[in-house]
Chain A
Amino acid sequence: MKAIDEPRIVPTSVSRADGRIAGTISGDVDEPAPKRYGRGLFLATVAGGLSSLVWGKTVWSGLSSAVPSVPLVPSGWRIYTVAATMPRFDRRTWRLEVGGLVGEPMTLDYDALRALPRTEEERDFHCVTGWSVSNVHWGGVRLSDLLERVQPGLGAHAVRFTSAEIPYVDDLTLDQAKLSDVLLAYEMDGKPLPREHGAPVRLVMPRMYGYKSVKWVARVDLVARPHPGFWELRGYDPDAWLP
């Protein structure tokens, strides 16, 4: 039957105005009820979307391994920056300052940094905004080694990492910073750390969400107590332990 065959006079709003719900529309015996699929579609879309919070990740993992990655669209990494432009690494002028409450402050140029004992870590990277990258291969300096060299003072209970990307800064407690898998990484997946990942060196705190792993590290300072970092001043948790 085509729609034209329906009596067009059927007042589609009547039942609603009477306060009855769609499923109970009976109408007059000789008038077919109009097909009210709109509300069902609306509710089904909302329900489908909400339920995807449960099944979305599984389905997407299956799909993304079957479909080649598309340029422009994030595949794994997403690049988050807080300043207007990313810092640019100049090997001749770049220095890493390690100071604060220490016995032996240090200033390292890039070659001096690379000359320190090298270590590697392969870990998953988790961003607090929801995405993750599996099996990232980091190469760099164990932070605990570096801290030993500068001899933290008795009053030092936290380490502050200042980024060349002003005003990004973040702190770890000294105990967190001394964990053996915390690195200052200058290599990622076998190559020098790319600019958008914090070249030439970034912190890697693999037990916490990514905002703790400061990119473009320019200063490392031993301080008396931890202060809230850039995102922590905006509501994030200073102790960003992964679950």
Chain B
Amino acid sequence: MSYVVRFTRTERVLHWVNAAFFLHLTATGLILYVPRLSELVGRRPLLKNLHFWGGIGWVCALALVFLLGDTRRLVRVARELEVLRDDRFDVGQKLNAIVQAAFVVLFLVSGVLLWLGERDTSFRFSSTVLLHDGLLYVALVLFVGHLYLAVVHPATRHALRGMALGTVEEEWARRRHPEWEAPPARGGNALPKDAVRT
């Protein structure tokens, strides 16, 4: 069976670092948010610290991967995502990535505002907590859909291999992403042709 390269190491590290922090923040955030869980776990100061510093760690970790990893590659990925047509990613994957990236900014801004507002109430706005909660709902729906497509849905679940190991079956790539000119695995971390040309 022949394989083609879908994700480089930097891309995979970025994805899994993001995923780890997303899960940490979702878990601690839900405990802080759902009354039943809040009552069950208690320890609010500890949970708040874990959640707040998890959020700060999230953006710092993403920035570190961007700076210490293959920066040029990630810049190209961003350009790839800008064009909403099927190639290495389909349009749904691109929309998901774009919206979740925007949510990182919004989660950070609303979270820092909540933190500030508790310490200086001139920063306390009644809509901040609603924005933070609303983002959670949408992000959770997107995340569940993403999990379903990556782990369960037969037509797309092979993509999980790409995010885990970097390579996907060539036959699957041709069938699922016919517009993507995938580099063969032998070429190591070669770029998809679309992104290579400069």
Which A residues form the contact surface with B (CB < 8 A)?
3, 8, 11-14, 16-17, 22, 34-39, 41-43, 45-46, 49-50, 52-57, 60, 72-74, 77-86, 128-132, 196, 209, 231, 234-237, 240, 243
Contacts and interface: CB of A to CB of B under 8 A. Distances in A.
A90 to B, nearest CB: 19
B33 interface: yes
B42 A36 contact: no
Closest 9 pairs (CB-CB, A-B)? A130-B129, A38-B82, A56-B127, A45-B102, A49-B106, A11-B197, A57-B127, A81-B42, A56-B130
Contacts of B128: 53, 130
A45 B98 contact: yes
B83 A12 contact: yes
B84 A35 contact: yes
Interface in B85-100: 85-86, 94-95, 98-99
Contacts of B135: 49
Interface string B71-82: 000001001111
Interface in B123-162: 124-131, 134-135
B59 to A, nearest CB: 14
A237 B98 contact: no
A100 to B, nearest CB: 26
B175 interface: no
Nearest to B196: A13
Contacts of A74: 33-35
Interface in B23-81: 33-36, 38-39, 41-45, 76, 79-81
A36 B105 contact: no
A72 B40 CA distance: 13
A72 B106 contact: no
Contact of B130 (A22, A37, A60, A82): A60
